[in-house]
Structure 1
Amino acid sequence: MQEPAVAEVRTTCPYCGVGCGVLARVTPDGSVSVRGDPEHPANFGKLCSKGMALGETTGLEGRVLAPEIGGREASWDDALDLVARRFTDTVGRYGPDSVAFYVSGQLLTEDYYVANKLMKGFIGSANIDTNSRLCMASSVAGHRRAFGEDIVPGIYEDFEQADLVVLAGSNTAWCHPIIYQRLLAARRKRGTKIVVVDPRRTATAEEGDLHLAIDPGTDVLLFNGLLAHLARSNVIDESFVAGRTSGLAIALDAAAADAPSIESVAEGCGLNSGDVRLFYELFAATERSITVYSQGVNQSVHGTDKVNAIINCHLATGRIGRPGMGAFSVTGQPNAMGGREVGGLANQLAAHMSFESTQDIETVSRFWNAPNIARKAGLKAVDLFRAAGDGRVKALWIMGTNPAVSMPDAGRVRAALKACDFVVVSDIIRTDTTRFADVLLPAAGWGEKSGTVTNSERRISRQRPFLPLPGAARPDWKIVCDVARRMGYGHAFSFDGPAAIFREHAALSTYENAGERLFDIGAFAGVTEAEYDGFTPVCWPVSRDGASADRLFGDGCFPTADGRAFFVAVRQQSVAQAVDATRPISLNTGRLRDQWHTMTRTGRVPRLMSNAPEPLLEIAAEDAIRYELADGDLASVSSPYGLARAKVKVSSSQKPSSAFLPMHWSGQFAANAGAGPLATPLADAVSGQPELKHVPVKIVREEVAWQGVLITRRYLRPTGFVHWSRQTVSGGWIYELCGTETPDQGILLSRQFMEAYRREELLEYTDRRGLNYRAAAIDDDGAMAEALLVSPQGQLPSRDWLVSLLGSRVPLSGAERMALLSGRSPVPTPSIGRIVCSCFNIGVNQIAVSVAAGCRSVGEIGEHIRAGTNCGSCRAEIRKIIDEARLQAAE
């Protein structure tokens, strides 16, 4: 009998700010399948490698499934009573500013709304900040200075309608691959020019027409130079500037003082003057120009100035709010924009209102019936954790984020969490942060919760549940409302579901709003449950009278007191904490192609781990020679704030005196390999966004004497090793181990991992010199359960065959048992090699075979084995493989 068809649920991806639509369904065997939603206007059916693997992230391994108090399972009533009592008592004794919330762009808008309402409206403090502070706070501040409100004026169609796209501080190919593929498709049709401004030669830069590898922190100088060039070239839109803006003369004076010539800009930015001139002339000559920027601009002690330097160039030319024109901030998280809408940042009020306006404070107070509303901005992220560490914040609630890893100066953050009197963590999974929780609350995850998110183009979409809540997990909005009721605020938190919260959020957006605030979704203030369930993606504003707009500012009207946009005069400042003789390398950090934040979801998916399975420190060849480093060496990296260790990768992507360490590695996946402990807590004076793209470091080679690999079904947290990292594979995990002890000592340390299998069949071998050790455990069914290989540095055999045995769980043949300790299959088996295309699980060796068979382009590779034909984020790497093969053939 044929199985009945299972309905697909239309929802939204929980990763980056592109906000792709997803069709998800639970198959009859209980697994989850996903595909892109062809009707969603963000992605039209496409998904990146992370999105395609969403169905593999919904398992319950590692999930928090019940409340815990002091590490012991508790009832919801006991946990919520304790949270409410401790927060109430702390406020009563020390005042409202003695408590704080630290929330996340992973929350849905409805979750964000009630958390903000509770803290600002009823506890009476603005001490609620978000990990989006680390993502786009400088954009918020820059928008408000220039436009009067936090507005992204453009939409994704502008990527396709522009003739010039400037990608500044944005590795779009990896971080926002779907809109990047939309851009490349448009380039094939209309010849769009792409300029990439980034210190690294990223996958995005590989595809660009011009790469400007600026020195870290010199973006203001580059764009001030552009503004000065536009004035010298008579490209200023005099009519637009005179009628719709103010402040150009002062901004031009600052730009001219900074950038008297193209040559001075080139020297100050570390660029070739010809490349700078080409960029300036291209921008001046191309009306349909869009500048897309992301964390490379925002994450800086001068991030707000960088944002305004970019916006100034678009205002000066009138290139804003029209097709293919404008400054466009792309966010890193799925609901960073939604958090901005509800006031999730400590210096904001809900519905784009501000603490700087007494009228705004009174408006929100009246709407919420909250006379005790906060009347001043609260602590921003860096200061919030400092306050937790020194005792000013005595009760802290963290929701859906992992600051013990992701915050700068993360060692100090961990010390603050340990010192804080009372820490509550709501999350779906155990993280480095949950270890510090006095109360741990199980939250609903993607696929289980219901609400809305807003993407980078202001498009609101629904996330819908298609899985039951596991264990005792609850949605974040319900957890917050339950605590609020216990604190005595039940009248304001009597919501019966996310639709009711969304209605109130929409009503507040239009309350006493006669057009002063562009954020207005009043059309949904009366949305019914059925309408909410069937909600289709829409860009705000959508006012109560039904008026809506996709692009904004095309009419030249801005939400300022006089309706004019404002040029902000900015100057290039000295780079904070410049490199010197003691720390001569500038360390940058950012995302890997297939990973997300601290890897709590993606780190458990084998195909997402396979492209970059361990933390690597990228350095330039010149620096490798200077510091006697080679590929695969273990290096220690020290900054004024902390220490990390990672293996070295010599890369042509890095400029000399620079290095790159990915942001993702937490204590769950490696030993002391995170970028957070190294990063400076210095922050932008306007936005409070910390500098994550530059910190001076010293890099030293570690004298590794031995290395090992443990292939096992067990999830472990190794201790006692100089360095280790963990990679998930089919059937279990691979642990890379190494040490500075002598090999025999390393063997003794590594053998401790085999203790658990002493009751089962254990095969062991140690060579005569005591330098090589091999062990394998065989389970009761005759399958390999674990294998450990230890050798002097550089002498480990391949582990591909052993990994395949772990995944298959098939009883070993006699020949396989004989060969087990060698690590080599008795029958030659081809290896696909390191995964290059995660969408279709295509390895480097398969691509090499296709090149040898005659494929000479990325397109031909795609036709032959599909690699690079989905999200396209691997195309630059495929091209490198092709180019290297050509060079080898020519030798």
Structure 2
Amino acid sequence: MPTTHTTCPYCGVGCGIIAQTEEDKITITGDKTHPANFGRLCSKGISLANTLSLDDRLLYPEINGQQSTWESALDKVASEFQRIIAQHGPKAIAFYVSGQLLTEGYYVANKLMKGFIGSANIDTNSRLCMSSSLTGYKRAFGSDTVPGNYEDLEQAELIVLTGSNLAWCHPILFQRISAAKEKRPDLKIVAIDPRYTPTCEIADTHLSIKPGSDGYLFNGLLDFLRRHDHLDYEFLEETQGFGSALEAARETCGSITSVAQHCGLEEEQILNLFNLFAATDKVVTLYSQGINQSTSGTDKVNSIINCHLATGRIGKPGMGPFSVTGQPNAMGGREVGALANQLAAHMDFEPEHRALVQEFWQSPYIPTEPGLKAIDLFAAAAKGEIKAIWIMATNPVVSLPNADSIKQALAQCELVVVSDVVRQTDTTAYAHVLLPALAWGEKEGTVTNSERRISRQRAFLYAPGEAKPDWWILSRVAQRLGYKKEFPYKSAIDVFREHAALSGYKNNGSRDFDISGLLPLTDEEYQTLTPIQWPICQTKQQTTHCGGLRGTARMFADKHFYTRSGKAQFVSIIPRTPAHLPDVKYPLILNTGRIRDQWHTMTRTGKSARLLRHINEPFAEIHPDDAEALNIKDNSLVQITSRLGKWLGRAKFTETQQIGSLFVPMHWNAQNSSCARIAALVMPTTDPLSGQPEFKHTPVRISPYRPAWQGFILSKQPLPLPTEQLDYWVKIRSENNIWRYELAGETKPDNWAEWINKQFGAELDWLEYQDRATGRYRCANIVEERLNICIFIGTDEQLPSRNGLITLFTREKLTPIERLSLLTGQAGTSDQDNIICACYNIGDEAVKKAIQEKGLKTTAQIGEALQAGTNCGSCIPELKSLLGSRK
């Protein structure tokens, strides 16, 4: 059985994967030799084989919706670029790229735009998740350098988790921390988050902080450390700016009372955290989007870094500020300069760097200033300033804030080019030219994870249709623009070698990013490259703490930084409240983010029925007290409204949600739901330094949504929904190849039977039941004794079990009782489990039964009995809840 070692295409943990192929069967397992995961995979990773079908793939180039040849499509893109540049200049062209690209594709995109088109208008969707961290690192260290690695999480004595639901967003790191705590119970974990998330289950302390107030907390910590003399004076000699940073902290957070008031916490909670941080040598502060996605995200990052610099807790095992990135290759994008305010190889727009990059590329142009960041880039398109945009491997009509404005921006453009693997997305609907790219499992290249570790993604599938690598597509456009000599690449390794060469070009230890030690790789060595952390220098540089050809586990152990002075820089922080605060009209705070089993806009994970068993409809988490005050019922339909738009989904009661706040996942799109693109509600307000949007703090209101009718359809095949007649609908891929549609409408047909026949065909034979008095309607289409379609309509959400009905589709022949039950509404009352463990497809009823019959008392015992919780572990908090052991 052929075996391929590759890397997961989801989050920035960068897990190693082994893909085994035998005829049409693909088996995915974790790579026990990979230092990021040591064989563990999360539910998404373990389900990758279920997402590889070609049923929705973009397989051929298209121009204006018609299949084309590559020659015609590439000619079209190049000629239109040339025309627009001639008429409007290079700044009228823009690229919007993605952390889903491999480093090689990323590199060519940045080189083409900044070196040969001559504009810096290339930005990446990583702007949405990690640009505040990048900016904070550069202010403090003079470089975009992650100091530590994953081993520090296992060696720490205290881990402060702030703004990160690690259990669901980075499950493998969560498991590494969980395992470390099990081995060393004295490891202390503090979770700082407005929500009580599954991550808080492993925490000794949860601080339910006021949304957006993190800067006050860490400023207060810095002042506390100074007042109580918990500073590393020797290390402070290698820093600058401490005095002014301390003064700012004193002025804004000079007392525990002040910090507690700003953060909405008890003074005792603040003191306990501060004393614990002060008394513990090995401290890692691990943070993610709760810190970054803010109009003051960069300042929050630096407020964290300030505390580590003040105590010298950086560059040594078990300590340091640690940002975990959201995408598989967000770090690779930072390396190649795919953000609008960077040049390649971690260089900037200062004259020395510009000259160096231009000399290396032998390019006719290098922009003199940064380009437009993501939000400004699309705003410029809406104004008609950007005439052509090339979007690669991302779906901005779903993911960007004020998402409806992105539709308007794309509609304004003279040319929209989209390179993607999916034929139909919210964004491809606006494309003039569609270019089919290779997907995960088909393409070759490298990615870099959150700990600076470069790993290979390797192909184990044949390229379908006429799909091509991203670097190939970009190179062929560049050649048509007249740059054949400068873009001669024939394989991914050609691009990688050039990327490595640029990183070491005239470096001599002056820049942090250096992988020139990989430059001599042969083709075979590139194919067999094992995971390695940069910098990887040709010779070990003492001044850069580069570990030479073996890579570098940690940075800054030598107290050398990349600022002009060589010293770390404290940053004076004046904390700010979020840009938009609740008011009488919009009294609640909307927080958006990820859920456990889905990824970004669901174009990949939405193909796996298993991953949709845990959560399959868009929902809003709300505290029961807020719901009671607004007359909202659990699991009922609700409408959320902001100044920009509305959203429809289910209310989900949870006492772990902070009163006054809502949480809504980011994943649903117009391909699988009617009105659930939550980013359409988010204000496009950004951090003035990083350009990262404030996804965590949008003022909204929520109200019951009471349609005239609700219902659902189950079908053996996808159905053409009359979406214009449905106010609420969600399309769900269920197990056993059954399609499920949840529906609701504000207008009720006079005759359901006529409506059904009109929508789905009068030639179908239906068993029907209708009760006009109660508004109930049920029908079923049975073909050759087997259930083909069933439809249930009512006046509220009280409808039969969907999962139970799905089991009827597996029957070879329906019994008379089962036929009758479809009409009486009794079908499916013995429900299947609601899936708890997506890795092993284990539901809550199975767990409850095992607990009762076997007397199980711990999650470990559940794991031994059922396997639940033994893989990625992100279901462990729910298993604890079933055991009745929630803290």
AA matched with 1:844: D
CA distance in 2, matches of 1:796, 1:741: 19
Tell me the secondary structure at the aligned position of residue 724 of structure 2.
Answer: coil
By how many angstroms is 1:754 displaced?
5.1
User: Counterpart in 1 of 2:461?
Assistant: 467
User: Which one of 554, 561, 564 corresponds to residue 561 of structure 1?
Assistant: 564
The whole-number CA distance in structure 2 between the counterparts of 1:749 and 1:416 is 41
Counterpart-to-counterpart distance in 2, 1:857 and 1:116:
52
Correspondence list, 1:169-248, <5 A: 169-190=163-184, 191-242=186-237, 244-248=238-242
**Selected match of 2:742 from 725, 733, 736:** 736
Describe the SS at the equivalent of 2:353.
helix
Distance 1:125 1:588 in 2: 35
Q: Is 1:416 matched up with 2:409?
A: yes
Give the alignment partner of residue 629 of structure 1, picking from 617, 621, 632.
632
Aligned partners of 1:788 and 1:310: how far apart in 2?
54
Residue among 502, 507, 513 paired with 2:496: 502
User: What is the distance in 2 between the residues matched to 1:630 and 1:433?
Assistant: 35
The answer to whether the 8 Å contact 2:8/2:15 transfers is yes
Change (3 A) 1:225 1:770: closer
Cα distance change on mapping 1:110 and 1:752 into 2, 3 Å: farther
Which residue is 1:11 aligned to? Answer: 6
Alpha carbons 2:196, 2:656 under 8 Å: kept: yes
1:312-391 equivalences in 2 (<5 Å)? 312-355=306-349, 357-391=350-384
Separation (CA, whole Å) in 1 of partners of 2:876 and 2:750: 44
- Tell me by how many angstroms 1:873 deviates: 0.3
Distance in 1, matches of 2:803 and 2:170, equals 32
* Aligned residue pair count: 872
Please show how residues 91-170 of structure 1 align to structure 2 within 5 Å.
91-170=85-164
Where 1:845 maps in the other structure, the secondary structure is helix
CA 1:342–1:616 in 2, change beyond 3 Å: closer, same or farther? same
Deviation at 1:794, TM superposition (A): 3.4
How big is the shift at 1:823? Answer: 5.1
Compared CA separation, residues 492 and 749, structure 1 to 2 (3 A): farther
Q: Judge conservation of contact 1:128–1:378 (CA < 8 Å) in 2.
A: yes
3-state SS of 2:681 partner: coil
Aligned residues with identical type, % of pairs: 50
What CA distance in whole angstroms lies between the structure 1 residues aligned with 2:319 and 2:536?
Answer: 22
- Give, as a single letter, the amino acid of the residue that structure 1 aligns with 2:882: I
Gapped regions of structure 2 (runs ≥ 5): 541-547
Deviations 1:75-113 (A, max 9, x none): 111111101111111111100000100000000000000
Specify which of 601, 611, 615 is matched with residue 614 of structure 2: 611
Amino acid at match of 1:850: A
Which amino acid is the alignment partner of residue 118 of structure 2? G
Q: What corresponds to 1:24 in structure 2?
A: 19
Counterpart contact for 1:799–1:823, Cα < 8 Å: no
Runs of at least 5 residues in structure 1 that lack an aligned partner in the other structure = 1-5
Q: Secondary structure at the match of 1:851?
A: helix
Partner of 2:516: 522
1:795 and 2:790 equivalent?
no
Distance 1:676 1:768, change over 3 A: closer
> Partner of 2:680 in structure 1?
677
Where does 1:703-782 land on structure 2 (aligned, <5 Å)?
A: 703-712=706-715, 713-717=717-721, 718-730=723-735, 731-742=737-748, 744-745=749-750, 747=752, 751=756, 755-756=760-761, 758-769=762-773, 771-779=775-783, 781-782=784-785
Q: Which residue of 2 aligns with 1:876?
A: 877
Give the SS at the match of 2:454. Answer: strand
In structure 1, what residue type is equivalent to 2:523?
E
Q: Once the two structures are superposed, what CA deviation does each residue of 1:487-530 show, in whole Å capped at 9, x if it has no partner? A: 11111111010000000000000001011101100011222110
Moved more, 401-410 or 264-273: 264-273
Residues in 2 aligned to 1:636 and 1:820: alpha-carbon distance in whole angstroms: 31
| Partner amino acid, structure 2, of 1:721 | L
1:873 maps to a residue whose letter is: S
Per-residue deviation at 1:856? Answer: 1.9
How far does the alpha carbon of each residue in 1:342-400 deviate from its partner, in whole angstroms, 9 at most, with x for none?
00100000000001x10000000000001312221000000000011110000000000
CA contact (8 A) 2:636 2:797 kept: no
Pair 560,468 (structure 1): closer, same or farther in 2 beyond 3 Å: same
What letter is aligned with 2:841? Answer: N
SS at match of 1:211: strand
Separation in 2, partners of 1:616, 1:633: 10
Could you tell me whether the CA contact under 8 Å between 1:706 and 1:746 is conserved in 2?
A: no
Which residue of the partner structure matches residue 822 of structure 2? Answer: 820
SS in 2 for 1:761: coil
State the Cα distance separating 1:644 from its structure 2 match: 0.8
Moved more, 345-354 or 257-266: 257-266
> Judging changes above 3 Å, is the alpha-carbon distance between structure 1 residues 749 and 454 closer, same or farther for their aligned structure 2 residues?
farther
Which residue is 1:289 aligned to? 283
Aligned residues of 2:139 and 2:569 also touching (Cα < 8 A): yes
The answer to whether the 8 Å contact 1:300/1:684 transfers is yes
Is 676-685 or 786-795 further displaced after alignment?
786-795
Greater shift in the superposed pair: 439-448 or 705-714:
705-714
The Cα offsets for residues 289-332 of structure 1, whole Å up to 9 and x where unpaired, read as: 00001111111100000000000000000000100000001000
AA matched with 2:115: G
SS in 2 for 1:116: helix
Aligned to 2:859: 858
Aligned equivalents of 2:720, 2:22: Cα separation in 1:
31
Segment drifting more, 652-661 vs 153-162: 652-661
Q: Give the 3-state SS of the residue equivalent to 2:566 in structure 1.
A: coil
Q: Which moved more, 1:221-230 or 1:71-80?
A: 71-80
Distance 1:818 1:701 in 2: 34
Q: 2:711 touches 2:797 (CA, 8 Å); kept in 1?
A: no
Alpha-carbon spacing, 1:146–1:34, altered in 2? closer, same or farther (3 Å): same
CA distance in 2, matches of 1:663, 1:130: 18
Q: CA deviation at 1:643?
A: 1.1
Range that drifts further, 622-631 or 681-690: 622-631
What is the identity, as a one-letter code, of the residue corresponding to 2:808? L
